Amino acid sequence: MEKVVLANDHGAVDLAAAIRKHLESRGFEVCHLGVFTEESVDYPDMAQKAVEEFRRGGYAFGVLCCGTGIGISVAANKMKGIRCALPQNIFAARMCREHNDANFIAFGGRIDYPEPPLAMLDAYIDASFQGGRHARRVEKMMALEGR
Ligand code: RB5
C-alpha cells in the first residue's frame, strides 16, 4: 500500500479530513499528523513535521493544507529536497507532477477553488513525471537551493 503524509493547520481542518478520507478511499495509507481542531497552530511547524516524516522514507508524496495553502507550501519549500506545488486548478495539479515532479501538493482550506480540490488531487496522483527536458529543469531548480 502506498503511503502519503498529510498535515494541516487550523485553517484547513475540514479540507484535510476530506483529503484523508479521499486518499484512503483510493487505497493510500495516510499518516495524518493533524491538526484536528481549530485551535491556532503555526503552519511552519506543520510543514516541518510533514517533511521530517516524509524523509523517514517510504512515502509516495505529501499533502499540506493551511488557510490559503501559501504559508505551508512556502515553509515546506524552504526544506531541502522539497518541491511543494500550490495548484490553482486541475490543469496545474497535473502539470506540477508532469513538469515539476512535485513531491508535495498544497491546498487552502479557505480558498474557493474553481474546481474541486479532490479532483485536483486526483489529477496530481494520476499524473507521472515526464522527464526529458523537464528533468534538466528540475535539476536546475534544485541546484538553486541554498543560494
Ligand atoms: C492562519 O490564520 C493562516 O495564516 C494560515 O492558515 C495560512 O493561510 C497561511 O498562509
CA of 67 to the centre of ligand 1 (A): 5
Q: Which sequence spans correspond to the domains of the chain?
A: 3-143
Given 31, 65, 66, 96, the catalytic residue: 66
Give residue 66's pLDDT: 98
Backbone torsion region of residue 3, taken as left when φ is above 0, otherwise alpha when ψ lies between -120 and 50, otherwise beta: beta
Give residue 117's pLDDT: 98
Give residue 93's pLDDT: 99
User: CATH code for 3-143?
Assistant: 3.40.1400.10
Ligand 1 atom at shortest distance from the alpha carbon of 9: 6
* DSSP characters over 62-119: EEEEESSSHHHHHHHHTSTT--EE--SSHHHHHHHHHTT--SEEEEETT---SS-HHH
Residues touching ligand 1 (Cβ under 6 Å) are 9, 11, 43, 66-68, 70-71
Ligand 1 atom at shortest distance from the alpha carbon of 110: 8
* pLDDT tens for the 147 residues of the chain, in order: 999 999 999 999 999 999 999 999 999 999 999 999 999 999 999 999 999 999 999 999 999 999 999 999 999 999 999 999 999 999 999 999 999 999 999 999 999 999 999 999 999 999 999 999 999 999 999 999 999
Confirm whether 134 is a catalytic residue.
no
Question: Which residue pairs, CB below 8 angstroms and at least 24 apart, start in 135-144?
Answer: 135/101, 137/99, 138/83, 138/100, 138/101, 141/83, 141/100, 142/81, 142/83
Q: Are 16 and 118 in contact (CB under 8 A)?
A: no
CA nearest ligand 1 atom 8, residue: 67
Confirm whether 66 is a catalytic residue.
yes
Give residue 48's pLDDT: 99
Give residue 27's pLDDT: 98
Give residue 3's pLDDT: 98
